Copies of this chain bind each other. A is one copy, B any other.
Amino acid sequence: MSSKFDQLKQECYDANMELNALNLVVYTFGNVSAVDRKEQVFAIKPSGVPYEQLKPQDMVIVDFDNNSIEGNLRPSSDTKTHAYLYKHWPDIGGIAHTHAKYSVAWAQAQRDIPIFGTTHADHLTTDIPCAPPMQDQLIAGNYEHNTGIQILDCFKEKQLSYQEVEMVLIGNHGPFTWGASAAKAVYNSKVLEVIAEMAVLTLQINPDAPRLKESLIKKHYERKHGKNSYYGQ
């Protein structure tokens, strides 16, 4: 049975399968969504379904107020976090959440990931922010919705732009990443995991390793981004 959301579901399905292929998830511990800005809805993975059994038509269509619009399955338990971000950040096209081990380790350590090198600077110019654990009254309340608030508060306090910094760690929990599309959000999850692993290794070799200096941060970021970029085709 065809639906006007078939293309959106396919994009969401492909991105979820890619997340799994990149070894960023164990069992069902992760989810990706893709948004349709015109229809003000997003497609998201159903909750707790093994990747091998997933089909494109299993993706659930949800609006920004968390109403299920289409689909027989229960959407991911993190759906309200996705909805909150789509509602408040008009420029993003996809969101990914994983429990990838190095990203989770930094989140559990409650530390921002320092910008140690050019692999990091090729993608963003700041440390990767780790939002502090949620306050108790918010946890007891609408938890996943409040996770969205937690992320926006973190970006406000650290004066970060969600267009420039496309990733965050939730203290004690794990990473959320986003981007212009669901595929770009998954790409950012992989990049974050690689940077997180390199940073652990860097500290093992030199616990006093310095952050990258400003001139190099600027140079590498501009190689890949901005009007004078010269990376890619």
A residues with a Cβ closer than 8 A to B are 26-27, 29, 46-49, 73-74, 77, 99, 101-102, 104-111, 116-119, 122, 133-134, 136, 139-140, 143, 172-174, 187, 190-191, 194, 197-206, 209-210, 212-213, 215-216, 219, 223, 230-233
By the criterion CB–CB under 8 Å, are B231 and A105 in contact?
no
- Determine if A215 and B27 form an interchain contact, defined as CB atoms under 8 angstroms apart: no
State the Cβ distance, A171 to closest chain B Cβ, in Å: 9
Residues of B within 8 A of A108 (CB): 116-117, 198-199, 202, 209
Contact between B202 and A105, CB atoms less than 8 A apart: yes
Q: Which of B116, B139, B205 contacts A172 (CB 8 A)?
A: B116
Q: Which of B48, B140, B233 contacts A219 (CB 8 A)?
A: B140
Partner of A139, one of B46, B101, B219: B219
7 nearest A-B pairs in the assembled complex, by CB-CB distance? A48-B232, A105-B201, A109-B206, A109-B205, A108-B202, A108-B116, A108-B117
Q: Which residues of B contact A102 (CB under 8 A)?
A: 201
Expressed in whole angstroms, the Cα–Cα distance for A108 and B207 within the complex equals 11
Is the CB–CB distance between A174 and B118 below 8 Å? yes
Contacts of A204 in B (CB 8 A): 105, 200, 203-204
CB contacts (< 8 Å) of A122 on chain B: these are: 29
Given contacts A27-B187, A108-B199, A117-B174, 10 further A-B contacts (CB under 8 A): A26-B191, A46-B233, A74-B233, A106-B205, A108-B209, A116-B172, A118-B172, A143-B223, A200-B204, A200-B205
Contacts of A110 on B, CB cut-off 8 Å? 206, 209-210
Q: List 19 A-B contacts (CB under 8 A).
A: A26-B190, A27-B191, A29-B122, A47-B230, A74-B230, A104-B117, A109-B205, A109-B206, A110-B206, A111-B206, A117-B174, A133-B213, A136-B215, A139-B216, A143-B219, A172-B212, A172-B216, A200-B204, A203-B204
